[in-house]
Amino acid sequence: MRYHVSPPRLSKQAFGEIYICDHPAYNRCTLYKCGKRGIAVIQQRYVKSTKHTYWTEIDDWIANALWLYPKFHEYLRGHAKEPVNGLYPTSTVRQVMWACRMKPMAREAWETVFDKKDF
């Protein structure tokens, strides 16, 4: 049986910052910085009425949970880079959770994959 992480009732983002940029796939992300280097973390959203998906910043409770997770800082040090034309390297929240060996979020049927290719 697989167990998934579930969101708390109330949350407020204390770690990471909302970063607005001109990326081809998204325009808002959660940025985690380590000095001048950083990594952008994104989460996919779904609009039920139009069946449209888009990428944006991660939920507040996940932002806090990632930062407080012991293996996240190792991941951050290994993947964070300085920005190129205002863009930091990007990872999805699911990729980060798997890399840190965190309990995953329940996967939705509409979720797709974000290509990590450099733009």
The answer as to whether 76 is a domain residue is yes
Alpha helices in 46-104 (DSSP H): 60-68, 72-79, 93-99
| Total domains present in the chain | 1
The answer as to whether 85 is a domain residue is yes
Q: Higher-confidence residue: 118 or 82?
A: 82
Whether residue 1 has pLDDT greater than 80: no
Confidence tier at 119 by pLDDT (50, 70, 90): very low
Longest dimension (CA), the chain: 44
C-alpha to C-alpha distance for 55 and 36, rounded to whole angstroms: 24
Who contacts 58 (Cβ-Cβ below 8 Å, separation ≥6)? 16, 29, 30, 41, 42, 43, 66, 93
In the numeric block, the tokens 């205002």 are attached to 86
Q: How far is CA 114 from the centre of its chain?
A: 11
pLDDT digits 0-9 by tens, 37-70: 999 999 999 999 999 999 999 998 899 889 999 9
The answer as to whether 5 is a domain residue is no
pLDDT digits 0-9 by tens, 64-95: 889 999 999 999 999 999 999 999 999 999 99
Quote the domain boundaries for residue 93.
17-99
The answer as to whether 48 is a domain residue is yes
C-alpha to C-alpha distance for 58 and 77, rounded to whole angstroms: 20
What pLDDT shows up at residue 50?
Answer: 94
pLDDT digits 0-9 by tens, 4-23: 666 655 556 668 899 999 99
The answer as to whether 113 is a domain residue is no
The answer as to whether 78 is a domain residue is yes
C-alpha to C-alpha distance for 99 and 86, rounded to whole angstroms: 25
What pLDDT shows up at residue 103?
Answer: 83
The answer as to whether 114 is a domain residue is no
Decide if 32 contacts 67 (C-beta within 8 A).
yes
pTM of the model: 0.83
